[in-house]
Structure 1
Amino acid sequence: MLIEYIVGLSGLIAAGLFIYGLKAMSSPVTAVSGIVTAGYGMVFVVGATFLNLFNISPDARPHLLVNVALAVVALLLGCLWTGWRGRTVQMTAMPQMVAIFNGMGGGSAASLAAVSLLSDHATSGLHLSVTIVGALIGCISFTGSIIAWAKLDGRMRKPVRFGGQRIFNAALFLIALVLGALTVMQYATPQGVLPGILFFAAALLFGVCMTLPIGGADMPVVISLYNAFTGLAVGLEGYVMGNPALMIAGMVVGSAGTLLTALMAKAMNRSLTNVLFSNFGDTASSAKGPEGEMKSADPSDAATSMRYASSVIIVPGYGLAVAQAQQKLYEFVKMLVADGVDVKFAIHPVAGRMPGHMNVLLAEAGVPYDMICDMDDINDSFATTDVALIIGANDVVNPEALTDKSSPIYGMPILNAYKARQVFVIKRGSGTGYSGVQNPLFFQKNCTMVFGDAQAVLSKMVEAVKALGTA
């Protein structure tokens, strides 16, 4: 009896640590401590679970010890692999790592559902229904996250689309629902096994088919959505197993993922159905494209302009992460600040390849949090700023989103970098952004391109500012 109380109390304590950790993760200042706190909660509840060994009858222990040994091996393998990946992953690979880790959570929830369905103990119709719903959501999150990982990792470079795809996907989802209902109705009968197997196959396949047509530019929203799916699936399976820690953790993660998904969709001024079913990026924004020519300058010229400016706003994008140039950028920024230049960073909610990607990137470089501003807080400042420096960003500063109703990104809120007195853009080439839409900002009179890898360009900028200081 004492062990049962301890195990139950451990779930409550762990849930409290999860909630506190998630709350702390809402601020860059406390994000690291929040992750550590939530991790302690997970270690605590996993450790307490093993106390159930002392509450098992002696006759059942030999069989249980085999499962415990397998669980320990799985924990060791999982901890070693994820710990190694977490320490060695490059910042450019962080989005796909988040996607695949999230998929593992969904797959675990689906596996719990499968084990519950295969167990011999009597189960109520409500528990069976909840188990099936959790399995469906977990399967979709599992295979959908794998496809998202493949897209982000460059293994699938183009969306897979074909005629009648939406009808096919809808039919597949309906088939999964029917098979799930048959599994519930025929549970514990010889005829109940086949519908269950077919249900899991249809659910896993639907996760793949649902994600294949979604463009890469929408992956941040998709990752957030599947995170919510995983949390919901875990919460449902926690209810089935009577595990308060799983229920609370799943509900917290699911609700947080849902809110984040809504915020991401709002930041793009698009509904979630539009993200999932609009074939974003299929159409060209303009038949003729922007008029004029791109002007280019040397890194030293751009650095000189910023050295003698009063204010500079920097817009980081995925190109900064690709070049691993965040440390060099902050070195450049510190030199400007030392010379009396007011420098701020402007972060678009969907910049990069996952929610908060740019915030993590700048935090890794040691940029103070008070220099980092959200879009709504800084957008009005561009009009009075001397220089806007854009590094590897494209779609989030594209004024076509405000003016061209035929553009696929029309209506998406952007950073108003085009309003600055002078705009410098560090970019490898003159190609389009991730959405496939050309940016007319690069052709404006107040915009100058600085072509090259961000790491190399910023290194030259640092040298130029140093030379000005010794001149």
Structure 2
Amino acid sequence: MLAQGFVSAAAIAASVLFVLSLGGLSNQEKAKRAVWYGIVGMAVAVLFTAFGPGIGNYWLMIPMVAIGSVVGWHVAKRVAMTEMPQLVAALHSFVGLAAVFVAWNADLERRRVLAAQAMGATAEQFSAFAALVATKAPDELTFLQLEVVFAIFIGAVTFTGSVIAFGKLAGKVDGKPHKLPGGHLLNAGAAALCLLLAVLYLNGAGFWTLLLLAALSFFIGWHLIMGIGGADMPVVVSMLNSYSGWAAAAIGFTLSNDLLIVTGALVGSSGAILSYIMCKAMNRNFVSVILGGFGGTQGPAAEIEGEQVAIDAAGVASALNNADSVVIVPGYGMAVAQAQNAVSELTRKLRAAGKQVRFAIHPVAGRLPGHMNVLLAEAKVPYDIVLEMDEINDDFPKTDVTIVIGSNDIVNPAAQEDPNSPITGMPVLEVWKSSVVFVCKRGQGTGYSGIENPLFYKENTRMFYGDARESIDSLLSLID
């Protein structure tokens, strides 16, 4: 058993490592080292917490940790990079559900301690957590009850919200927004009932209040995320990341675990900041998004004239061979087709031929922040030719060829041209200003978000239909 001093020192060390990890993830070249900071920090946190004072039941804890480690290793080895967004959403749900169970257990322990104290029991006769509860003053017990209410509410919302986000990202749930009759009033009504139940609980009502509170919160999480469309899923994943952090912090307060409080606050605040940044990048109102898309556009979308004109590999290769400057815009379609290595090889051949090749990355490309950057780094694409939207948008009028691989909303001119479009006002990559645009796409559908794209019908756009990896592979032998 480790002394409390060692545990406190380890908590400080782990907190520093977590801060270094978050800071390093903002830079592609430092990201791998940052991940290791996080891994070591978590290992230190788990080890010193498990062997800290007042901890027991190792006969149960060690097998559970071993099983969880094996399952986590197996999942991490099997999940492809394309499935990372839905894996992140699934992991968020675990944190939320854990918060609910810990909060329920904390209240049951509180009730047991109070009943035992009424019969003359002392703090020395209780388990570690129960003894902690037994030494609390009445106002501290009230604060514990507030922690329980918050943990259940935010944890339950995180759980069901993350499950629905997982379903939408994995294609198991329709990506279009769906609300029950009553829409936002249902969410508001459920939230009001949660507040009423919290007041009843704080005034001595039974455990049933916490069960109903969890049930209503589960509904809010489900209905909230069901009401958000596929175009906003990257923001939703980031937002749920923030929710899971606050749920973890609430557990930390309940368990009097300083490290859990710090870690949850780091995750919660960084997720909230990232969500805000992404909302700015999409010209979305942050409050509107977290309320399930409240305040969306009204009126019919503008009609699109023209037709989609197809082109074959020989035509695309001819344009690339004659081009001096090429911009590649990757999207989720590239991830699904696992075409990043073929794209990297195409980039190498074009650069070897003396052509300027760069990548344009929209802040919300893919279904997770930084998704495209990770895929390109995995395929050994040089960091210095991967540019953000603000760095490259002004260069499209001087670009000979732009290749769009599996992107839709982030290159959709309707964001600027159609005031009734669901993405109106969203900053987009202005690829249509290039001399010619080739769009690698499986078919003529509207894609994940269900929003029609006028880019596909413009005179300087040609549709390069087919699987993205096969399409890019077919170009490699035709590049001079």
TM over 0.5: yes
- The aligned counterpart of 2:432 is 418
| Pairing 1:165–2:180 present | no
Is contact 1:399-1:439 (8 Å) kept? Answer: yes
Q: How does 1:53-202 map to 2 (within 5 A)?
A: 55-56=53-54, 65=56, 67-119=57-109, 120=113, 121-122=133-134, 123=136, 124=140, 125-157=142-174, 158-186=176-204, 191-202=205-216
1:293 Cα deviation after fit:
1.7
SS of match in other structure, 2:478: helix
Q: How many residues end up aligned between the 2 structures?
A: 451
Compute the displacement of 1:131 (Å): 2.7
Secondary structure at the counterpart of residue 345 of structure 1: strand
In structure 2, what residue type is equivalent to 1:380?
D
1:283 Cα deviation after fit: 7.0
Query: Which amino acid is 2:213 matched to?
Result: F
Query: Which secondary structure state, in structure 2, belongs to the residue aligned with residue 388 of structure 1?
Result: strand
1:214·1:280 contact (CA, 8 Å) conserved in 2?
Answer: no
Contact preservation (8 Å) 1:183, 1:196: yes
Structure 2 equivalent of residue 18 of structure 1? 18
Q: Give 1:61's aligned residue.
A: none
Paired with 1:71 and 1:204, the residues of 2 have a C-alpha distance of 28
Partners of 1:165 and 1:284 lie apart in 2 by 19
Which stretch of the first structure deviates more once superposed, 351-360 or 320-329? 351-360
Q: Are 1:398 and 1:441, in contact at CA under 8 Å, matched by a contact in 2? A: yes
How much does 1:181 deviate? 2.5
Q: Which residue of 1 aligns with 2:382?
A: 368
Aligned twin of 1:60? none
Structure-2 separation of matches of 1:152 and 1:283: 26
**SS of equivalent to 1:192:** coil
Indicate the residue corresponding to 2:461 in structure 1: 447
Displacement of 1:379: 0.6
Q: Which residue of 1 aligns with 2:129?
A: none
Matched residue type, 2:30 = T
Determine the structure 1 residue equivalent to 2:117: none
CA contact (8 A) 2:297 2:420 kept: no
2:218 aligns with one of 201, 204, 214: 204
Give 1:282 deviation, angstroms.
Answer: 8.8
AA partner of residue 242 (structure 1): S
Distance in 2 (CA, whole Å) between partners of 1:318 and 1:363 is 15
Q: CA 1:2–1:401 in 2, change beyond 3 Å: closer, same or farther?
A: closer
Code of the aligned partner of 2:63: V
Q: Could you say which residue in structure 2 is the equivalent of 1:322?
A: 336
* Corresponding letter in the other structure for 1:97: L
**Residues 270, 307 of structure 1: CA spacing in aligned structure 2 closer, same or farther, 3 A cutoff?**
same
Structure 1 residues 361 and 402: alpha-carbon distance in aligned structure 2, compared to 1, 3 A threshold: same
Contact in 2 for aligned 1:215/1:280 (Cα 8 Å): no
Q: Contact 2:149–2:210 at 8 Å: present in 1 too?
A: no
CA RMSD of aligned residues (A): 1.9
Shift of the alpha carbon at 1:284? 7.7
One-letter amino acid of the counterpart of residue 212, structure 1:
M
- CA deviations on 1:14-45 (whole Å, 9 max, x unpaired) are 11111111111111111122112111111111
Match of 1:59 in 2: none
Identity of aligned residues (%): 40
Q: CA 1:284–1:304 in 2, change beyond 3 Å: closer, same or farther? A: farther
What SS does structure 1 have at the residue aligned with 2:360? strand
Aligned to 2:410: 396
Look up the equivalent residue of 1:151 and give its one-letter code. Answer: K
For structure 2, the residue ranges without an aligned partner over 5 or more in a row are: 114-132
The equivalent of 1:40 in structure 2 is 40
Q: Is the 8 A contact 1:395 1:433 kept in 2?
A: no
1:2 Cα deviation after fit: 7.0
Distance in 2, Cα, partners of 1:27 & 1:35: 12
Instruction: Specify the code of the residue in structure 2 equivalent to 1:126.
Output: F
Offset from partner CA, 1:398-440 (integer Å, 9 cap, x none): 1111011111111000001011111111111122133322111
Q: Give distance in 2, aligned partners of 1:12 and 1:114.
A: 29
1:362-406 Cα deviation digits (max 9, x unpaired): 112111111111111111111111111101111111111101111
- 1:267-317 CA distances to partner (integer Å, 9 max, x unpaired)? 110102332333798978535x31112222111221221122111110001
Is the 1:285–1:408 Cα contact (8 Å) retained in structure 2? no
Deviations 1:306-365 (A, max 9, x none): 122111110001111111111011111100000011111001111111211111111121
Normalized against structure 1, the TM-score is what? 0.91
Is the Cα contact below 8 Å between 2:227 and 2:293 reproduced in 1? Answer: no
Do structure 1's residue 332 and structure 2's residue 346 form an aligned pair?
A: yes
Check whether the contact 1:423–1:448 (CA below 8 A) recurs between aligned residues: yes
Code of the residue aligned with 1:426 in structure 2: it is: C
